[in-house]
Structure 1
Amino acid sequence: MGGAGFMTGMVLLLMALSSGVRSCPPSDRAALLAFRAALHEPHLGIFNSWTGADCCHNWYGVSCDQETHRVADITLRGESEEPIFERAHRTGYMTGYISPAICKLPRLSSIIIADWKGISGEIPRCITTLPFLRIVDFIGNRISGSIPADIGRLQRLTVLNFADNQISGTIPASLANLTSLMHLDLRNNLLSGPIPRNFGSLRMLSRALLSGNRLSGPIPGSVSLIYRLADLDLSRNQLSGLIPESLGKMAVLSTLNLDFNKLSGPIPVSLFSSGISDLNLSRNALQGNIPDAFGPRSYFTALDLSYNNLKGAIPKSVSSASYIGHLDLSHNHLCGKIPLGSPFDHLEASSFVYNDCLCGKPLKPC
């Protein structure tokens, strides 16, 4: 019994000693409190739980590595289904800025500060010194300034999302060094200049969303080297030059949005016998005929070629496509008879209006 009592005492002593080890280190707690001090959240009180010595337990949006007990993840979403939001019957609104104090969390793996609408200031330059970062998501704020030039140092990064902010400057060339990156979303910012020529080095990328910026220059041919790329959205920019033929030869590309640019030249034949199912080339300066290259492999949920300078007849091979859901050929210089049969029998006149001399159902008879 004495031995058992001694062992019990030792276990209790070890538990008491280790409880301090299991909590987050004071340096991590101080970094979080400095990060919090730069933000103002007036309605939900999400930071009310950030009290006590142990930031690893019950601090809203904070989680720690179970082995090191260092802060690993900060997840603060302004649009959330958490009870704290449901009780308030509102989405979050937060002002302030993202403090460089987060860079004093050396084991940080993900930082998600999304959809708070009022957070401004710049992206802390020091985030590129955090070697374990896998996810950086600042979507839906008012962040300005430029993307850190050495963003390519974050070799473990898989998600980079700066969409719906006011970020300006160019896309850093070093971005192409992020060889683990799977999801890139820079939509709806003020980015200008070219897409880096070596963009195709992002071999793990499955989504590249760059629409709604001021990007200029050509579409780099290297994009077609990204074997896993499924969604490419470069719409609403100022891109010019030709559409690379190689885009139509990509293995898994299913969505290609290039609308609202300044692209010219012919439409690559390869796009119509590819795996692309959602193709939007509208509002460019594309010329020549619509390629007579449709066939059983052509499957389009949406195909939009409107507002270009296309001429000639609608190719009869369109009828041999396995499926075309939505088709828009309006606002071009097309001429001749609209083919019969599918998909033309379910399309409305709006798909064909404002051409030079198209005729036949659903327009006026020839």
Structure 2
Amino acid sequence: MKSVFTIFSVVVFTTVSAVNSCPPSDRAALLAFKAALHEPHLGIFNSWTGTDCCHNWYGVSCDQETHRVADINLRGESEDPIFERAHRTGFMTGFISPEICKLTRLSSLTIADWKGITGQIPKCITTLPFLRILDLIGNKISGEIPADIGRLKRLTVLNVADNQLTGRIPASLTGLSNLMHLDLRNNKISGPIPSRAGDLSMLSRALLSGNLISGSIPASLCRIYRLADLDLSMNKLSGLIPPCLGKMAVLATLNLDCNLLMGKIPATLLTSAVGNLNLSRNALEGNIPDVFGRSSYFTAIDLSHNKFKGPVPRSLSAASYIGHLDLSYNHLCGRIPAGEPFNHLEASSFMYNDCLCGKPLRAC
């Protein structure tokens, strides 16, 4: 009788374990994904053994109800004990296998900061209907962003910064109505910003610096009510700065430095909610609008290396706060106003203009 009970218990346990473990198809997809990668130092894949990929497989998490693989989180700069014991960050080579697309319930895919992963973003990634997070920052991935990336209707984070991506920003990307964080920094992406970028109504951060993006800044960006951080620096953008950028409700950081922008600086930017403004190293011209006031609160404002002329705006003294100000390398002329914020600014803020004088430069 005892042996019968034991056999029954083993059968029940085996059945329950099989039900609660990941399906063989998910396990096979993970092993194929692993086979395309080589991680020589930390042994993060050593735990990828056994039949149940839902338990104790490093970086793998499953949905508690379906037991399908839901999250892959492999980050080469981690505070995990594996990294701390080795006193090093991760390094991995190989490529992201298209087999990853067989994980049809995948919600987040993070393969970040491994420095040596090459190849392309698998085009089939756009067939994963539940994908919310795609984070591939800090590798050597090349090729283009998949043209039909807009199929990922649930995507909230797209981070492919610090890679070697080329091509254009796909027009379909503007269909990602749930996207909150877009980071394309430090790649070789070219072409214009899609004219319908303003359709990204949930976007709060758009970081596109360090690419080869050209054309004008689309005014449609001003429609993104939640946009707080816009970084388009170090590109090849030309044309005028849309004045409506200064009317955005929550835009706090605007970096447009190191482009080919021209024309006058919109007065709206100097009385806006923007607190960190960098327009340096462009071809902006005309007088700096003398419109600063109580609503002007800048932790940093950099207008250096442009073609501004005329005097330093006296209304700067009416601003609520000016932390850092750089007006160097322009064609400004006249007496630097006295009082705050000028009392705490250094000479470097005003150097290399045509004929500025007064503290902290030479006396007039």
Could you state the TM-score of these two structures normalised by the residue count of structure 1?
Answer: 0.97
For 2:277 and 2:352, the matched residues in 1 are separated by 21
CA change 1:180–1:341 in 2 (3 A) is same
- Residue of structure 1 equivalent to 2:71: 73
Q: 1:199 aligns with which of 194, 197, 200?
A: 197
- Residue of structure 2 equivalent to 1:63: 61
How far the C-alpha of 1:350 sits from its partner, in A, is 0.5
For 2:313 and 2:9, the matched residues in 1 are separated by 82
For 2:15 and 2:123, the matched residues in 1 are separated by 38
For 1:337-362, what per-residue CA distance to the aligned partner results, in whole angstroms no more than 9, with x for missing partners? 00001110001111001101100000
For 2:5 and 2:272, the matched residues in 1 are separated by 71
For 2:50 and 2:363, the matched residues in 1 are separated by 79
| Matched ranges for 1:125-144 at <5 A | 125-144=123-142
For 1:249-301, what per-residue CA distance to the aligned partner results, in whole angstroms no more than 9, with x for missing partners? 00000000000000000000100111100000000000110001100000000
For 1:68 and 1:42, the matched residues in 2 are separated by 33
How far the C-alpha of 1:18 sits from its partner, in A, is 2.2
Amino acid of the structure 2 residue aligned with 1:281: L
Q: 1:214 aligns with which of 212, 215, 222?
A: 212
* Aligned-residue RMSD, C-alpha: 1.5
Amino acid of the structure 1 residue aligned with 2:39: E
Q: 2:243 aligns with which of 245, 264, 267?
A: 245
How far the C-alpha of 1:119 sits from its partner, in A, is 0.3
For 1:214-265, what per-residue CA distance to the aligned partner results, in whole angstroms no more than 9, with x for missing partners? 0000000000000000000000000000000000000000000000000000
| Matched ranges for 1:1-366 at <5 A | 14-366=12-364
What residue ranges of structure 2 are gaps of 5+ in the alignment? none
For 1:9 and 1:94, the matched residues in 2 are separated by 46
The alignment partner of 1:57 has SS state of coil
The alignment partner of 1:365 has SS state of coil
For 2:341 and 2:284, the matched residues in 1 are separated by 23
How far the C-alpha of 1:7 sits from its partner, in A, is 11
How far the C-alpha of 1:195 sits from its partner, in A, is 0.3
For 1:163-206, what per-residue CA distance to the aligned partner results, in whole angstroms no more than 9, with x for missing partners? 00000000000000000000000000000000000000000000
Give percent identity, aligned residues only. Answer: 74
For 1:12 and 1:219, the matched residues in 2 are separated by 66
For 2:185 and 2:280, the matched residues in 1 are separated by 18
How far the C-alpha of 1:12 sits from its partner, in A, is 7.4
For 1:29-79, what per-residue CA distance to the aligned partner results, in whole angstroms no more than 9, with x for missing partners? 000000000000000000000000000000000000000000000000000
